[in-house]
Amino acid sequence: MLASGEIIPDLAAPDQTGRSRGLRELLGERGGIVYFYPKDNTPGCTLEANDFQSLSGAFAQAGYTVIGISRDSVKSHAGFCAKHGLGFTLLSDGEGALCEAFGVWQEKTMCGKTSMGIVRTTFVVDAAGAVRRVYPNVKTKGHAAQVLADLGG
């Protein structure tokens, strides 16, 4: 998993509109909140997305953009954004290149079954693309507010 001080990869992926976007081009004046989540329209992922959306103005005021990434399709992301009024960028990492580069594609065990999947993780990245903080194994409730508070917002 990428650690504090490491530079994020400048990979591109399609956003919810299908437009290819370079990850670094999406960073705000001070940087970005890059969060990886397992699946659109599931309870935890919806809660997390709605919390980031409700605080997106405060993140923008602090100079940070919010960028969500999962392996869901562009069509799934478009529907997720429309259904929940999400105004920030969601990147479709269908091939898993971003997940692999950030180190969030890992073996997981649920109900005694082992499989590969996205470990819910948030990275605070500065405007130069350096990781400033990593939140591994995120619990969704209150997470977005905690990230904002840690930024001094």
Give the sign of the dihedral formed by CA 102, CA 30, CA 94, CA 108.
positive
Task: Find all residues with CB under 8 Å of 39, minimum gap 6, and list them.
Answer: 45, 70, 72
Out of 45, 81, 99, 111, the active site residue is: 45
> Residue 4 falls within a domain, yes or no?
no
Look at residues 115, 93, 118, 95 and name the one whose alpha carbon lies nearest to residue 105: 118
Q: How far apart are CA 13 and CA 92, in angstroms?
A: 6
Residue range 58-107, pLDDT digits in tens = 999 999 999 999 999 999 999 999 999 999 999 999 999 999 999 999 99
> Which CATH number fits the domain that encloses residue 29?
3.40.30.10
> Residue 99 falls within a domain, yes or no?
yes
Q: What are phi and psi of 130, to 5 degrees?
A: -90, 135
Q: Which domain holds residue 136?
A: 12-150
Could you give the percent of the chain with pLDDT greater than 90?
94
Could you give the percent of the chain with pLDDT greater than 70?
99
Q: Can 45 be counted among the known catalytic residues?
A: yes
